[in-house]
Structure formats: structure tokens, C-alpha cells
Amino acid sequence: MRSRFIKAYTLVEMLVALAVSAIIIGATYASYEMVARQYHKNMDIADMHTSGRAIMRIIERDVRMAGFEYRDNNAIITYGSISNPLTIKDSGNKCCDEVTVVYDYFDEESKKSERIRIRYWAEPHTSNKGSRHRLYKQKDILGRNGSVLANPALGRKEVMADYIEDLQFNNTDNKVSLYVIGSSSGSKYIKVVDPVTKTVKSQIKTDFYLHYPSMTFGPDGLLYVIGSSSGSKYIKVVDPVTKTVKSQIKTDFYLHYPSMTFGPDGLLYVIGSSSGSKYIKVVDPVTKTVKSQIKTDFYLHYPSMTYKSKRTGQESLVTINLTLRTKNQYGKDRQFKKKDYHSGNFKIDKTDKYKRDTFSTTVLVRNLAL
């Protein structure tokens, strides 16, 4: 005879089992969410590093090729010489610099050459992921089928990368500056003049009297200046980068009244005045005419000036620095400072939850080094 009692779970047991199951499911979900969050973070950082390395290799390849002129079987340059193979546009103390390179590209498969112009630059962009810069690239055709085009064939503006924090190009050895001795408001300076923009870029304040001064750059890249201090005469050895006197050579002679120097452009730079104003006159020694002039706002007392020399080969070195950030924010606020050994005049100092990294390389522009 069958029993009247059927075995089953009580309501209390069901509630206990439900509560335990809920705890296990909640813990499993929390663990999954943590793993998923860490996974996305790692992927975001990995994408940043991969993107940074890829961008550097692409830009590095094009910069290295700047100035390459294709020659045919008779050693004749197909499209003529390249006047501006490498142009760097400095953005100042902000993101980002811009570079334009021109070179001839030869396709091995089609056996045809083209003269191309490639430009890299960054522009601000805003979306639901916040404001940042995007990196763009444009490739234009300047020459095709053996002749230079009357109107360049302009290429498309392509997005190369996102979340750009900084892009710096430095080719300082190719930027010639004019160093001029003068005084202003009772203080003595070595003024650093840009002969292109005709502006004073910076100045080196001196603590010694520049008596019948003269100066020139040495093969070590340092500035050698004749002056005097406490009644003694010296050749002061000045570092134009740190703007400090590194050493001095005591002398028993003066160098009298120097006032002009030849520039690397073959023109003669002469200190003079006209109608009460002070100028650096740029004279063509062949035509014996004044081509241009740089007006100064400082007193040229027993003046002297010299050009910073280009050291052979070094003007072909370009340093590229790229800083990226992640797409999302993670963890606690942290500070990111661009290291001093990364060149460029934009010094990043931010505190937030983003991860950042800086990529750096120095490129030998081989066709400019020949």
C-alpha cells in the first residue's frame, strides 16, 4: 500500500537555496565584470601602444625619404631638383607640430616614378568620448609620367590615428640663427635673431662687459665670446642651449670693432643705422645692393654678430615625439608629465584617469645627409 506521505523541500529550504544561489550568481557576475573591465583596459592600452608604434614607423619612413630625387637610366633627375624637401611647422607651446615631405617614389611593379608630397598634421576633434586631437595624412602628386604637373593632384584627407596628445618634430640644427651682441635697459645680452621672421627669438644675459666684442661658433657647437670682467680680458665659452658660461680663456688682447659676418646663404650681414633707427643690413656682395634689413630694438654697442654654423650631416637629423592617450579613463587620478629628455616645446602636465605614453625616434634624412 502506497504511503500517504510524499517527500519534498520545505519553504524555508527553498528560500535558503534561493538566497545562496543569488549570492553565488552575484559573486560570479561581479568577478566577470571585473575581469571584463580589466580586459577592456588591457586592450585599450595595447591598442594605444600598437597605434603609437605603427604611426612612428609610417612617419619615420616618409621623413627618411625626404629629398630623394629619382634619376633615369641616363642619371638625369626626372622631375628636377626638390627645393623644399622637408618643411616643419612649429605649433609653439601646444599640440601639435606639422611636417611636409617631398620625394620621388618609384614603383618597381609598374616601373614608373612620381613626385609626391605628404603632409602630417593634427586637428581638434570632439565626440562623446571627449575632446582630443586626431592625426591626419594627405598625399598629393606633384609630378607624373616624367613631368611636373601644372596643378598638383590633391589627395584625400585621411584619419591616421585618434587620441593624439602631442606630436613634435625637431630639426634644430637646420634652423640657422643670428647671434648679435647688444644691450637694453642697462643690461647686456647676446640676442638670438631669426633672420627669416626678423624677430628676436631669445636672449642670453651676460654678467661680463662686452668690450670691443666679437664672437663665433666653435666646432663643438659652443659660442666663443670676447669680453672682460673685473679688469681682465677673457674669451667666454657660452652654451647657447642652457644659456650659461661653461668656461673661459684668459687673454691679453682685444679684437677691435668687428661689425659684419657672412651667412650660410652667401650674403653679408652688416650692422648699421639709418634715420636714427638701428638695423642689420643684408647685403648681396655680388650685386652690391641691400636685399633686406632686420630692424633691432636694442643698442648695438661696439657690435658683433655671427651665424650659428650648420655642422655637416647633423642638419639631416629629425627627432619625432608622439604622445597618445587611451580612449577611456581608468582607476584613480594620476599625473602625467612629459619627460625632459623628450624634445619639443610643448610640456605636458595633466592629472586625470587616462593612461598615456610617449614614443620617440630620431631619423636620419639620408638624402639630405649626402
Q: Is 109 exposed, middle or buried (0-12, 13-18, 19+ CB in 10 A)?
A: exposed
> Are residues 193 and 249 part of one domain?
yes
> Are residues 97 and 77 part of one domain?
yes
Q: What is the predicted pLDDT for the residue at 63? A: 93
Scanning the structure block, which residue is given the C-alpha cell 608622439?
322
Residue 38 resides in a domain: no
Count of domains for the chain: 2
| pLDDT tens profile 317-331 | 888 999 999 999 888
Residue 32 resides in a domain: no
Q: Following CA atoms 25, 29, 30, 34 in sequence, which dihedral angle do they give, to the nearest 10 degrees?
A: 150
- Run of H or E residues at 19: helix 11-65
The residues pairing with 223 across neighbouring beta strands, listed in sequence order, are: 217, 238
> Are residues 78 and 113 part of one domain?
yes
Cα(245)–Cα(210) distance, integer angstroms: 14
Residue 117 resides in a domain: yes
Q: What is the predicted pLDDT for the residue at 275? A: 67
> Are residues 271 and 245 part of one domain?
yes
Residue 361 resides in a domain: no
pLDDT < 50 regions, the chain? 255-258, 311-314
> Are residues 255 and 146 part of one domain?
no
Scanning the structure block, which residue is given the C-alpha cell 666653435?
218
> Are residues 163 and 112 part of one domain?
yes
- Run of H or E residues at 39: helix 11-65
**Backbone dihedral angles phi then psi of residue 262, each to the nearest 5 degrees:** -85, 140
Sequence-ordered list of residues with C-beta below 8 angstroms from that of 264, at least 6 positions apart, any chain: 176, 307, 309, 310
Residue 359 resides in a domain: no
> Are residues 299 and 187 part of one domain?
yes
Scanning the structure block, which residue is given the C-alpha cell 606630436?
167
Q: What is the predicted pLDDT for the residue at 309? A: 52
Q: What is the predicted pLDDT for the residue at 271? A: 64
> Are residues 192 and 160 part of one domain?
no
Residue 184 resides in a domain: yes
Cα(275)–Cα(300) distance, integer angstroms: 15
Answer yes or no: are the C-beta atoms of 327 and 46 closer than 8 Å. no
Q: What is the predicted pLDDT for the residue at 250? A: 72
Q: What is the predicted pLDDT for the residue at 344? A: 73
* Nearest residue to 178 (alpha-carbon basis) of 154, 152, 198, 206: 198
Calculate the CA 13 to chain-centre distance: 71
* Nearest residue to 233 (alpha-carbon basis) of 258, 208, 207: 208
| Cell, residue 332 | 584613480
> Are residues 130 and 74 part of one domain?
yes
Domain ranges, residue 187: 177-307
Q: Following CA atoms 142, 146, 148, 154 in sequence, which dihedral angle do they give, to the nearest 10 degrees?
A: -30
| pLDDT tens profile 50-62 | 999 999 999 999 9
Q: What is the predicted pLDDT for the residue at 313? A: 43
Residue 26 resides in a domain: no
> Are residues 244 and 123 part of one domain?
no
pTM (2 d.p.):
0.59
Cα(99)–Cα(221) distance, integer angstroms: 26
Q: Which one of 307, 336, 357 terminates a domain? A: 307
How many of the other CB atoms lie within 10 Å of CB of 226? 24
**Average pLDDT, whole number, for the chain?**
78
Q: What is the predicted pLDDT for the residue at 35? A: 73
Cα(341)–Cα(150) distance, integer angstroms: 44
Q: What is the predicted pLDDT for the residue at 274? A: 64
> Are residues 329 and 264 part of one domain?
no
Q: What is the predicted pLDDT for the residue at 248? A: 77
> Are residues 194 and 79 part of one domain?
no
Residue 136 resides in a domain: yes
How many of the other CB atoms lie within 10 Å of CB of 332? 6
